[in-house]
Amino acid sequence: MKVLVTGGSGFIAAHCLDQLLDHGHDVVTTVRSQDKGDRILTAHPGVPKEKLSYVIVEDIAKEGCFDDAVKSNPPFDAVLHTASPFHFNVTDQKKDLLDPAIIGTTGILKAIKANAPSVKRVAITSSFAAIINSTNHPETYSESIWNPVTFEQAATGDAPTAYRGSKTLAEKAAWDFVEKEKPNFSISTLNPPLVLGPIVHYLNSLEAINTSNARVRDMIQGKCKEQLPPTGTFIWTDVRDLALAHVRAIEVPEAAGQRFFVTAGYFANKDIAEIIRDNFPDLASGLPPKDTPSDMPKDIFKIDNSRSKEVLGLKYRPLKESIVDLVKSMKEVGA
């Protein structure tokens, strides 16, 4: 298939791009600047330009920004939409988070409908943030659960509320679009919690690391020596499993029209610290004491990830593999 990937310089998108190429697809990725696009091409020597190229989309929150990107010859068969803001450095909730997420998602769908009739499948990176109800956890989280946040709560709440709201409202807008507009394509959404795993050396510096992996960087740099930060969300997935989920979502016919809760299971920051201690003795002196307690709650909610395994065929990596590969990748860029 010929596939457009939005936000190609992002952590998740970069892994999606590699998996797409591994599966024999032709990839065009959107980037915000020529520098980022050139870095992607340089990191894939020997891949011809008809297999991998990029187009520049400077601002995903601008109306019509994807109109040209979705036009291609030969035309696209599928789109992976991963581009969305994720950070808590927010001054204006509506402008910094809600608008880019919602307009970016509906914008790409409108552009495909108007300009790319050949596209049949679209996979969208959503988040566990669009599932979680942090004030009233259900007994079991699955794809049937939605975060009840409203636009007003997201626009006026704190940064985590605004972020969760942006993911929830963007995903709802995508499903609403398909229902009302009846476009030529079906969508699938991928809803991961914390995403860990190896950084992509040609895009990530240790300073500009994705939010989820930052906790591991801080541990190996000795910043958590006195105490571990709160774990926050006690479930996770490896970025390579999530990337494969995106690719399978456009390849597997049964994936059309479905949400996928993509999670490997539970973890606490204490588990990460012990994996680092056991596998990287040279880093042990910067970690908190071995008898530091875990903050894993006794009565944690249950999770049901069976759809991702049955429909997408995912076999989740264990936490140890993910953390060891992540630490190695960070050491390669100077950690």
- 240-282 residue pLDDT tens: 999 999 999 999 999 999 999 999 999 999 999 999 999 999 9
Q: How confident is the model at residue 88 (pLDDT cuts 50, 70, 90)?
A: low
Q: What is the pTM of this model?
A: 0.95
Strand partners, 302: 140
User: How confident is the prediction for the chain on average, in pLDDT?
Assistant: 93
Mean per-residue pLDDT, 184-204: 92
Predicted local confidence at residue 92, as pLDDT: 82
* % of residues, the chain, pLDDT over 70: 97
Per the model's pLDDT, the better-predicted residue between 312 and 58 turns out to be 312
Mean per-residue pLDDT, 274-291: 96
Q: How confident is the model at residue 46 (pLDDT cuts 50, 70, 90)?
A: very high
Predicted local confidence at residue 218, as pLDDT: 95
Rounded to 5 degrees, what are φ and ψ at 302?
-90, 160
Mean per-residue pLDDT, 20-40: 95
Cβ atoms of residues 161 and 169 within 8 Å: no
Give the containing element (helix H, strand E) for 188.
strand 186-191
Q: How confident is the model at residue 89 (pLDDT cuts 50, 70, 90)?
A: low
Give the containing element (helix H, strand E) for 250.
helix 239-251
> Measured between alpha carbons, how far is 318 from 219 in angstroms, rounded to an integer?
19
Mean per-residue pLDDT, 200-226: 85
Structure tokens at 124: 């969208």
- Is residue 87 scored above 60 in pLDDT? no
Mean per-residue pLDDT, 177-201: 96
CB neighbour burial string for 45-60, b if at least 16 within 10 angstroms, e if fewer = eeeeeebbbbbebeeb
> Measured between alpha carbons, how far is 14 from 21 in angstroms, rounded to an integer?
11
